[in-house]
Amino acid sequence: MHSNAAPGLKARVLGLDVGSRTIGLAVSDPLGITAQGLETIRRKNKRTDLARLEAIIQQYEVSEIVVGYPLRLSGAEGIQSEKMQHFAEDLRKKFSLPVHLWDERLSSSQANRLLREFDLSIKKRAGAVDRMAAVLILQSWMDTRDAALGSALRADRSDPPTLSKREMVTSDLGFVKKK
C-alpha cells in the first residue's frame, strides 16, 4: 500500500474529518503542496467504513493519514478525542500506515464560514462542509510539516501558483465567489 512516488512527487496523504454520520475526505496533490477535497462518506458501520477508506487509500496510493482530533476550545481532550484515538488505532492496524491526530478545533466552523461566503444554499453547504473541513485539517498539517522541515524542502519544488490559501481550497472544491 505504500507509494512508489516518482522523483519530485511526494507520497500522498489522506485527511479525514470524522463525524458520527459522515467522514469528510481530502488528499494531498502529487507534489504535496495543497489538499484536495474528495467525496464525503456516509458512515454505515466500522467494516463498511474501513472498506471504503481502503479503496481510497489504494486509488490514491496513500502513504499516511491525518485524522482531525476534536479537542475542546481549552485544548483539553474529551469523549470525542478518545473516540478519534480509537479510530486512529483501528486505521493503523488495518492499513499499517502512519496515522497522525491533528487539532481540528474550529475547522467545521471555519469551513461553514468559507462556504457561506460563496452564497451556497444550506443544503449544498451541508454536503460540502465535511469535505471542506477535511481539506482545512490536511492543509494545516501539511503547512506545519513543511515549516518544520524548513525551506530546504521547498527549494526542490518549482514555484507554485501565487494563489492565497483560500483561493486554493475553494477553487479545488469548485466554488467561485459571486461578486
Q: What is the pLDDT of residue 107?
A: 61
Q: Which domain holds residue 47?
A: 12-171
Is residue 55 a part of any domain in this protein? yes
Distance in angstroms (rounded) separating the CA atoms of residues 176 and 40: 20
The winner for highest mean pLDDT among 45-54, 64-73, 163-172 is 45-54
- Number of domains present in the structure of the chain: 1
pTM of the model: 0.74
Lowest-confidence segment of 3-7, 43-47, 167-171 by average pLDDT:
167-171
Q: What is the pLDDT of residue 164?
A: 45
Is residue 53 a part of any domain in this protein? yes
pLDDT tens-place string over residues 97-144: 999 999 887 666 666 566 566 666 666 656 677 888 899 999 989 988
From residue 86, give the alpha-carbon distance in Å to each of 25, 59, 134, 167.
19, 25, 19, 34
Distance in angstroms (rounded) separating the CA atoms of residues 121 and 44: 26
Could you tell me the three cell numbers for 171? 477553487
CATH of the domain at 106: 3.30.420.140
Is residue 177 a part of any domain in this protein? no
